[in-house]
Amino acid sequence: MRNTEGFFLIASPYLSDTDFFRSVIYVVRHDDEGAFGVVLNQPGPMTIEEAIGESLGHRPRRSDAIYVGGPVQGPLIALHTLTGMGEPCGTNAAAPENADVWITTDEDHLRILADRTDVQTRWFAQYSGWGPAQLEAELAAGGWLVGRAAPDLLFGEAGPLWERLVKRQGRAVLADLLPSEDEGFDPQRN
């Protein structure tokens, strides 16, 4: 099993599933029981201010978009960088002291994050899920490219994310196939 936890799944240009057309998914968990992640580049019509402003009793300091994290219904989810709030996720989930990204669905945590403008946060309604061996089959069929996740991409501008990551993956493939810089090819320049 290729574990994609803490990585990006980048929809192949040939992926025919309309739910994931040109999607980039951050994989939160991946084990023998399946996989769970959130689509990073599909902003929804609602903001966090609209979603939880009333429950706060005041207007939250944030007004971020809530992203459509996938086709599966679920609670409001926040990926964020506030250490210790919720559960660590990604490649450092087993070592929380090293985690860069955290996840929470706890209502008290969501209220705190709605007022913290000093913390990188992305909000999700719904999520993406795969049963046992389902994601592995999709990977083997070429439905997804797998790329390294980084906080600047995870919390950065969503619009060009798919194109940016597809180009990055293409450069990596070319760098592996073509002569090195010493032999006259520079994948960053060409």
- Domain 7-183, CATH: 3.40.1740.10
User: pTM of the full predicted structure?
Assistant: 0.86
For residue 84, give the nearest of 68, 74, 97 by alpha carbon.
Answer: 97
Contact between residue 127 and residue 89 where contact means Cβ atoms under 8 Å apart: no
> What's the pLDDT tens digit per position in 143-169?
999 999 988 899 999 989 999 999 888
What is the torsional sign of CA 78, 84, 88, 91? positive
Q: What is the pLDDT of residues 3-19, one digit of tens each?
A: 899 999 999 988 878 88
The CA–CA distances, whole Å, from 52 to 49, 59, 103, 168 equal 6, 9, 17, 36
What integer is the mean pLDDT of 167-188?
62
pLDDT higher than threshold 50 for residue 187: no
Identify the band that residue 86 occupies on the pLDDT scale cut at 50, 70 and 90.
Answer: very high
- Strands in the chain per DSSP E: 7-11, 24-31, 34-39, 43-47, 65-68, 77-80, 87-89, 101-104, 121-125, 128-130, 144-148
| Per-residue pLDDT at 190 | 40
Please tell me the predicted confidence (pLDDT) of residue 118.
96
DSSP code of residue 127? B
Strand partners, 9: 25, 146
Measured CA to CA, the distance from residue 35 to residue 132 in angstroms comes to: 8
pLDDT tens, residue by residue, 109-136 = 999 999 999 999 999 999 999 999 999 9
Q: Cα separation of 96 and 158, whole Å?
A: 26
Q: What is the pLDDT of residues 49-85, one digit of tens each?
A: 988 877 767 788 999 999 999 999 999 999 999 999 9
Largest CA distance in the chain: 64
- The domain spans of the chain are 7-183
Residue 43's nearest CA partner among 124, 127, 152 is: 124
